[in-house]
């Protein structure tokens, strides 16, 4: 007897996913994705280009591509960016070419982006998977912002104010995860669960970038 009588139906074909992880400043987007990287989940982590100064713990090419204002403007002029935005006075831009190349290699792409940028991606790639990270409480978010100590006090208040506004955008996302203190593994696991579940959908998403 042959050992591979095919099923009488076609399995859903899942093209690789574009997964957008967003949420207010200091909610823990970077830490959650760093944790996923450490756990060796097989994704392509899109590295954002930014003109923001490198923080001491950050690594060029892993956390961000730290570029000059001139380099950024050149990329922008070349139409390199899927989206770009100014956030608190610094430029951030995500490369369309990098996303396309990774998807073409069959890799799921995870991108971390601010809430404003996520809205742009939603317009450009409506079938991407949109995940919103929330802090457990507002004061915990404030404490996380303070821990960075990279900004003067008035910026901090501005960020807390912005976070309130950004949270009201949650409804436009597919999934929401409360990123608890000291629970990065849980958050990373939930993001992974969401991606695994999405790959079981009978009706796959159609990602066109």
Q: Which residues bind a second copy (CB under 8 A)?
A: 1-9, 11-12, 131-132, 134-135, 137-139, 164, 167-168, 170-171, 173-178, 189-190, 192-194, 196-198, 200-202
Q: Which is nearer to a second copy, 67 or 141 (CB)?
A: 141
Q: Which is nearer to a second copy, 47 or 160 (CB)?
A: 160
Q: Which is nearer to a second copy, 151 or 174 (CB)?
A: 174
Taking the complex as a whole, the smallest distance from the CB of residue 198 to a second copy amounts, in Å, to 7
Q: How many residues does the chain have?
A: 209
Taking the complex as a whole, the smallest distance from the CB of residue 131 to a second copy amounts, in Å, to 8
Element (H, E) at 36: helix 29-38
Please calculate the CA angle 35-37-43 and round it to the nearest 5 degrees.
130
Q: Which is nearer to a second copy, 47 or 178 (CB)?
A: 178
As given in the structure block, the two tokens for residue 158 are 């501005």
Alpha-carbon span 134 to 149, nearest angstrom: 21
Q: What are phi and psi of 44, to 5 degrees?
A: -100, 115
Other C-beta atoms closer than 10 Å to the C-beta of 58 total 13
Alpha-carbon span 70 to 147, nearest angstrom: 31
Alpha-carbon span 209 to 98, nearest angstrom: 11
Q: Which is nearer to a second copy, 36 or 75 (CB)?
A: 36
Cα 126 to Cα 109, 182, 192, 194, 202: the distances in Å are 15, 32, 20, 17, 18
Taking the complex as a whole, the smallest distance from the CB of residue 200 to a second copy amounts, in Å, to 4
Taking the complex as a whole, the smallest distance from the CB of residue 47 to a second copy amounts, in Å, to 25
Q: Which is nearer to a second copy, 18 or 75 (CB)?
A: 18
Taking the complex as a whole, the smallest distance from the CB of residue 127 to a second copy amounts, in Å, to 16
Cα–Cα nearest to 166, from 27, 62, 5: 27
Q: Pairing mode, if any, of strands 90-95 and 48-50?
A: antiparallel
Taking the complex as a whole, the smallest distance from the CB of residue 100 to a second copy amounts, in Å, to 26
């Amino acid at each position: 007897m042959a050992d591979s009588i095919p099923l009488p139906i076609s399995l859903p074909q899942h093209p690789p996913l574009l997964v957008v992880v967003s949420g207010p400043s200091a909610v823990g987007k970077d830490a959650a994705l760093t944790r996923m990287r450490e756990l060796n989940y097989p994704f392509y982590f899109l590295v954002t280009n930014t003109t923001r100064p490198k923080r001491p713990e950050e690594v060029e090419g892993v956390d961000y591509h730290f570029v000059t204002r001139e380099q950024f403007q050149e990329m922008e002029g070349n139409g390199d960016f899927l989206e770009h935005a100014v956030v608190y006075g610094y430029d951030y831009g995500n490369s369309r070419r990098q996303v396309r190349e990774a998807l073409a290699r069959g890799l799921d792409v995870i991108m971390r982006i601010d809430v404003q940028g996520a809205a742009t991606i939603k317009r450009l790639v409506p079938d991407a998977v949109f995940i919103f990270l929330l802090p457990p409480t507002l004061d915990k978010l404030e404490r996380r912002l303070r821990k960075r100590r990279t900004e003067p006090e008035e910026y901090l208040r501005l960020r807390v104010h912005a976070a309130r506004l950004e949270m009201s955008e949650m409804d436009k996302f597919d999934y929401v995860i409360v990123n608890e203190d000291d629970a990065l593994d849980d958050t990373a696991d939930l993001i992974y669960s969401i991606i695994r579940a999405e790959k079981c959908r009978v009706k796959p998403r159609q990602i066109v970038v």
